[in-house]
Amino acid sequence: MLRRQSAGAAERGRDRAAHGAALPVSRNDSRSFFNLSQLVLSAGQIKPSPALKHSKITYFEVEIVDVQSKKQICIVDKVPPASTVLDVKHKFHKACPQWYPSRVGLQLERNGPFLKDSISIQSLAVSSIITLYFTDLGQQVGWTTFFLTEYTGPLLIYLLFYIRLSTIYDQVESRKNFRHPVVHLACFCHCLHYIRHLLETLFVHKFSEGHTPLKNMIKGCAFYWGFTSWIAYYINHPRYTPPSFGHKQVSYAALAFLMCEAGNHFINVALAHQTNSGNRTSFPSPTYNPFTWLFLLVSCPNYTYEAGSWISFTVMTQTLPVGIFAFLMVIQMSLWAQKKHQLYLKRFYPEVRRKAAMIPIIF
């Protein structure tokens, strides 16, 4: 009996040693753990080690593929998430020096639009590898160079015809015929128009860092320079005949031309002021200047004034070449105005929805 009790006691002792006998030690451990946790909480959050923080940085690999052959040109690796498309173009230029950034056109899809330089690479990423399609945009020129070249030509070409070079006109006939005052007035108005364009290009307009293909500048110069030669040849010809209604026709048309030139300048200044001030959240509003009140009727009053200038010049000189040039300019500016009007409708719908694009009568 005693042995059985001793055996039972021994078994209970072993059970307590295995389960319950450690209870006093467990209480001491819990107190120690509680004290340690309080110390950690009072010390603040544990900072991750530099190695762990560095391991979370993600780099992208940009694969540049030719849009025509679909062959890989190169891979731009280790592109940070904060990089832009322009940064990728610079890295691509380092790998392929013959393709400088302004000549590179990158697309996310083969038939998609060209990506703007300011777009973030991270916004394009679906995975760590991004495929972009490359297109050679050809020889590029800056916008300032583009407009200065386009407008300097007509200014100089018209003056060459105005002085009646011996290689252009017959000198005997030039000395005999008296120049009508409208010939001098037309030269003044034509030069004023292009001098205004040149000064606004240098001091008023703020162009982006973008570029345009050289072939566009060649086409623009061919159009403006060619028509200027045709116009100047007829107006400065010794046999040029003055307008049918004489002085009144010339005076009213010249006054309308000068008003349109002034209006065009003030509209361009207003648009440039809005861009410089950074206020692009609202449509340009008219000011105390009466020439800006056209903003109440049309969304592109600069094109309205430009068309008015050439129509007035046509009436003032009464020549067919000027009329054809004015007709083509009105068509071209109408297309530009419609395109810009659609952009304004997306950005400033409540303010632009009741306006016309260029001609106030047509809503």
> What is the SS3 assignment for 147?
helix
pLDDT number for residue 346: 86
What is the block-wise mean pLDDT of the chain (363 residues), using blocks of 10 residues?
43 45 46 51 47 56 92 91 92 91 92 90 89 92 95 97 90 84 97 98 84 93 98 95 94 98 96 72 84 93 97 98 98 94 85 85 58
pLDDT number for residue 22: 41
Question: What domains can you pick out in the chain, each with its CATH number?
Answer: 60-137 (3.10.20.90), 139-241 (no CATH), 243-362 (no CATH)
92 phi/psi in degrees, rounded to 5: -65, -35
pLDDT number for residue 26: 47
Bridge partners, 75 (sequence order)? 63
Express each pLDDT in 99-158 by its tens digit. 889 899 999 998 889 998 889 998 998 888 999 999 999 899 999 999 999 999 999 999
> What is the SS3 assignment for 245?
coil
pTM listed for this prediction? 0.77
Question: Tokens representing 64?
Answer: 């540049």
CA distance 47 to 333: 62
> What is the SS3 assignment for 78?
strand
Buried/exposed 331-348: b ≥16 CB within 10 Å, e otherwise: eebbebbeebbeebeeeb
- Please compute, for residue 11, the number of CA atoms within 13 A of its CA located in the half-sphere on the CB side: 5
Query: Which of these, 297, 339, 362, 314, lies nearest to 193 by C-alpha position?
Result: 314
Pair type for strands 60-66 and 129-136: parallel
Buried/exposed 4-19: b ≥16 CB within 10 Å, e otherwise: eeeeeeeeeeeeeeee
